[in-house]
Amino acid sequence: MSSTRTRMLDAAIEIIARDGLRALTFRAIEEAASASHGSTIYYFKHQDGLIAAVLQHLAERDQAALAQSPILELLREAATEQEVGRLLAGLVEEFVGRSRALSLARYEIFLYTARRPEQAEAAVAHWRGNFIQLLEPMMAQMGAVDPVGAARFFMSAFDGVLLGLLISPSGMESGDLATFLTRLLRAVTGDTSATH
């Protein structure tokens, strides 16, 4: 990927996060990325091509961040739902804190693709798919009868929690978030033996 194209994609994410998709014009991207006039059309052809490229770029950034984060290894080694709940709470806090701009851009694009079914599948495959693949073996380890279904259900609920906290960051304390996610894990894996 050329450095100009990467700069333009990073600039697009910043614009979307700050001002929404309505502010995402070819001219705004070129100015923010210090790219020559006409560069956006050259690289992305049209708005849908740009959005698809931004979504893929977000997914690649997420994958790279996860690969460098200790959370993957910690999640594999976690022995209890409580440990997994605490780790996932930390991930949520990252998404609504340091990575808030990326999260806002991601949800803006998800809403855009929801109105364009031909792009909605790509949204699931590029971002949600990464996390579902991460969760699936954990669900199996926790005794879920249907690990794939449990992972998908958990991911949908996780999305809801994340979106709620992006809207209202003070909506849940760290300990409460870990407890909630632990209970959610128990619910989707069928473990009703403990609720506290």
Which residues make Cβ contacts (< 8 Å) with residue 152, sequence separation at least 6?
A: 132
Q: How confident is the model at residue 1 (pLDDT cuts 50, 70, 90)?
A: low
3-state DSSP assignment of residue 153: helix
Residue 191 has pLDDT above 80, yes or no: no
Same domain, 66 and 152: yes
Rounded to 5 degrees, what are φ and ψ at 195? Answer: -120, 0
Same domain, 105 and 176: yes
Q: Are 89 and 21 within 8 A, CB to CB?
A: no
Residue 88 has pLDDT above 80, yes or no: yes
> How high does pLDDT run on average in the chain?
84
Q: State the average pLDDT over residues 123-128.
A: 66
CATH of the domain at 57: 1.10.357.10
Q: What is the pLDDT of residues 47-87, one digit of tens each?
A: 888 988 888 888 888 777 777 777 767 777 766 778 888 88
Same domain, 107 and 177: yes
As given in the structure block, the two tokens for residue 19 are 């001002």
Residue 136 has pLDDT above 90, yes or no: no
pTM here? 0.78
Per the listing, tokens 């006039």 go with: 37
pLDDT of 31: 96
Q: How confident is the model at residue 93 (pLDDT cuts 50, 70, 90)?
A: confident
pLDDT of 150: 92
pLDDT of 196: 38
Same domain, 101 and 138: yes
pLDDT of 15: 96
* Number of CB atoms found within 10 A of residue 62's CB: 18
As given in the structure block, the two tokens for residue 183 are 């209970």
What contacts 24+ positions apart, CB below 8 Å, involve 23-29? Answer: 24/50, 26/50
Same domain, 108 and 41: no
Q: What is the pLDDT of residues 16-32, one digit of tens each?
A: 999 999 999 999 999 99
Domain region containing 21: 1-45
As given in the structure block, the two tokens for residue 32 are 């923010």
69-83 burial string, b = 16+ CB within 10 Å, else e? Answer: eebeeebeebeebbe
Same domain, 11 and 76: no
Q: Give the span between the Cα atoms of 141 and 131, in whole angstroms.
A: 16
Same domain, 71 and 163: yes
Q: Say how many Å lie between the first and final Cα of the chain, rounded.
A: 49
Q: Is position 61 within any domain?
A: yes
Which residues make Cβ contacts (< 8 Å) with residue 193, sequence separation at least 6?
A: 186
Q: How many domains, in total, are found in the chain?
A: 2
What CA dihedral angle connects 169, 80, 73 and 139, to 10 degrees?
-90
CATH of the domain at 32: 1.10.10
Same domain, 104 and 182: yes
